Structure 1
Amino acid sequence: MKRAILLLAAFAALQSFAQNLSKRVVFNDPSKYRQLSAVHAGAGQMKFTGLIGSQTLATNLLYLHAGEIPDKAGIGQHFHHTIEEMYVIFDGEAEFTVNGRTSKIKGPAVVPCKLGHAHGIYNNSGKALRWLNFAVSTTKGRGDNFDLGDDRVGASLDAIPQFVSGQLKKETMRTGNAAYAGNGILYRRILGPDIFATTWNHVDHVIIPAGSKASRQLANMEEVYYVVKGSGSIGVNGETAPIKLDHAFYGANGETVAISNDGKEDLELLVIGVATAPKEAARTTVQAKPKAIVLQMDFVVAKENAEAFEKMYTGVYVPAMLVQQGYLESKLLRIFPEAVEKEIQGEATDYNYQLQISFDTEEARRKWVASKEHQAAWPAAEKLAKSFKWRGYDVAGDNRK
Structure 2
Amino acid sequence: MTRFTAILLLTLSCIVAIGQPVKDRIVHNDPAKYRNLTAVHAGAGQMAFTQLIGRNELGTNFLYLHSGTINGKSGIGHHFHHTIEEMYVLLTGEAEFTINGRTSKLKAPAIVPCKLGDAHAIYNSSKEPVRWLNFAVSETRGHSDNFDLMDTRAGAAIDPVPVFVSGRLEQDKLKPVKTSGDGNIIPYRRVFGPDIFRTDWIHVDHLLITRDSSSGSRNLEGIEEVFYVINGAGTVSINNEQTSIKTDDAFYGKSGEKLSLSADNNETLELLVIGISVSKEKSPNISKPLLKPKAMALQMDFIVPKENAAAFEKMYHSIYVPAMIVQQGYLGSKLLRLFSDDQAKTIQAEPTTYNYQIQISFDTEENRRKWVASEQHKIAWPAASGLTKDFKWRGYDVMGDDDQK
TM-score range, shorter chain: 0.7 to 0.9
Which residue identity does 1:140 align to in structure 2?
R
Other-structure match for 2:15: 15
Residues 284-363 of structure 1 aligned to structure 2 (within 5 Å): 295=299, 322-326=313-317, 328=334, 330=336, 357-358=357-358
Q: Which residue of 1 aligns with 2:201?
A: 200
Q: Is there any run of 5+ residues in structure 2 with no aligned partner, and where?
A: 288-292, 322-333, 362-367, 369-376
How far did 1:359 drift?
A: 5.4
Work out which of the residue numbers 390, 396, 403 in structure 2 matches 1:399: 403
3-state SS of 1:194 partner = helix
Partner of 1:99: 100
Contact 2:7 2:278 in 1 (8 A): no
Contact kept, 8 Å, 1:234 with 1:258, in 2: the verdict is: yes
Look up the equivalent residue of 1:44 and give its one-letter code: G
Q: Aligned partners of 2:171, 2:44: CA distance in 1, in Å? A: 33
Letter in 1 for 2:16: S
CA RMSD of aligned residues (A): 4.0
Aligned-pair distance for 1:258? 1.3
**Which deviates the most, 216-225 or 63-72?**
216-225
Instruction: Tell me what 2:111 maps to.
Output: 110
Instruction: Report the AA paired with residue 43 of structure 2.
Output: G
Question: Is residue 2:243 matched to residue 1:241?
Answer: yes
SS of match in other structure, 2:32: helix
Deviation of the 1:211 alpha carbon: 1.4
CA distance in 2, matches of 1:276, 1:318: 39
Compared with structure 1, are the counterparts of its residues 368 and 225 closer, same or farther at alpha carbon in structure 2 (3 Å cutoff)?
A: farther
Q: Which residue number corresponds to residue 232 of structure 1? A: 234
Does 1:370 find its partner at 2:385? yes
| In structure 1, distance between residues paired with 2:279 and 2:217 | 19
2:260 counterpart (244, 250, 258): 258
**1:30-57, Cα deviation, whole Å (9 max, x unpaired):** 2322222222221122222222222322
Indicate the residue corresponding to 1:140 in structure 2: 141
Q: 1:57 aligns to what SS in structure 2? A: coil
Aligned to 2:61: 60
The 2-side partners of 1:278 and 1:99 are apart by: 25
Q: Deviations over 1:178-224 (max 9, x none)?
A: 36963352211111222122221111111112211112512332111
Over residues 327-384 of structure 1, what are the superposed CA-to-partner deviations in whole Å (9 max), with x where a residue is unaligned? 855487989999xxxxxxxxxxx96999994556796996686354x55xx99xxxxx
Higher mean alpha-carbon deviation, 165-174 vs 182-191, is at: 182-191
Percentage of pairs with the same residue: 45
Conservation of the 8 A alpha-carbon contact between 1:294 and 1:356:
no
Is the 8 Å Cα contact of residues 232 and 247 (structure 2) preserved in structure 1?
Answer: yes
Deviates more, 1:86-95 or 1:9-18: 9-18
1:153 correspondence with 2:154: yes
Distance in 2, matches of 1:201 and 1:294, equals 37
- For 1:120-149, what per-residue CA distance to the aligned partner results, in whole angstroms no more than 9, with x for missing partners? 101112111111111112222222222222
CA offset digits 1:306-326 (Å, max 9, x no partner) = xxxxxxxxx999978654523
Correspondence 1:71 to 2:72:
yes
Structure 1 residue 227: Cα displacement: 0.6
Provide the secondary structure at the position in 1 that maps to 2:126.
coil
Letter in 1 for 2:275: G
Task: Tell me the TM-score normalised to structure 2 length.
Answer: 0.74
Instruction: List gaps (5 residues or longer) in structure 1.
Output: 298-314, 339-349, 380-388
Q: For 2:216, give the aligned amino acid.
A: S
> How far apart, in 1, do the equivalents of 2:43 and 2:156 lie?
13
Residues 390 and 247 of structure 1: CA distance in aligned 2, closer, same or farther (over 3 Å): farther
Checking the alignment, whether the CA contact within 8 Å between 1:137 and 1:143 is kept in structure 2 is yes
Against the structure 1 CA distance between its residues 250 and 240, is the aligned structure 2 distance closer, same or farther, given a 3 Å change threshold? same
Equivalent residue, structure 1, for 2:271: 269
Question: What SS does the corresponding residue of 1:16 show, helix, strand or coil?
Answer: helix
Note if contact 1:284-1:400 (Cα within 8 Å) is conserved in structure 2: no
Cα deviation, residue 114, structure 1: 1.4
Deviation at 1:59, TM superposition (A): 1.8
Distance in structure 1 (CA, Å) of the matches to 2:401 and 2:184: 36
